[in-house]
Amino acid sequence: MPERAVVAVIRLDFRLPYSGSLKDKRSVVRSFKEKARSRFSVCVVESGKQDLADEASLTLASVSCNGEEARKVLKAAVEFLEDNYPVQVTAVIEEVF
């Protein structure tokens, strides 16, 4: 019997205080999405606040055989966002299924 797969999901809200337009915001979001996918092998979607120039909501997901490993990968992706982009994280909601 195959092992049980675990899906960890993080919903992330953040501010982009230096974003003056939707174009600025989308540039940051697009860059992070691409880098997170390639570095951490996570699924990333913009899940809200799409029409606000200075706020964004992303949902990240990771699949693993181990829930702790999936959570660890997502937390590393969030840390990467905070360390490499001009953002202020305002909310993080984490779930494991």
Domain ranges of the chain: 6-96
The average pLDDT across 72-96 equals: 97
Summarize pLDDT for 7-61 with one digit per residue, the tens. Answer: 999 999 999 999 999 999 999 999 999 999 999 999 999 999 999 999 999 999 9
Q: Is the pLDDT of residue 6 over 90?
A: yes
pLDDT at 43: 97
Q: State the Cα angle at 22 between 35 and 31, rounded to 5°.
A: 5
**pLDDT for residue 1 is more than 80:** no
**pLDDT computed for residue 4 by the predictor:** 86
Q: Do 63 and 5 touch, CB atoms closer than 8 A?
A: yes
- Domain 6-96 falls in which CATH fold? Alpha-Beta Plaits (3.30.70)
Spatial contact of 16 and 83, defined as CB atoms under 8 Å apart: no
- Give per-residue pLDDT as tens, 49-82: 999 999 999 999 999 999 999 999 999 999 999 9
What 3-state DSSP class applies to 50? coil
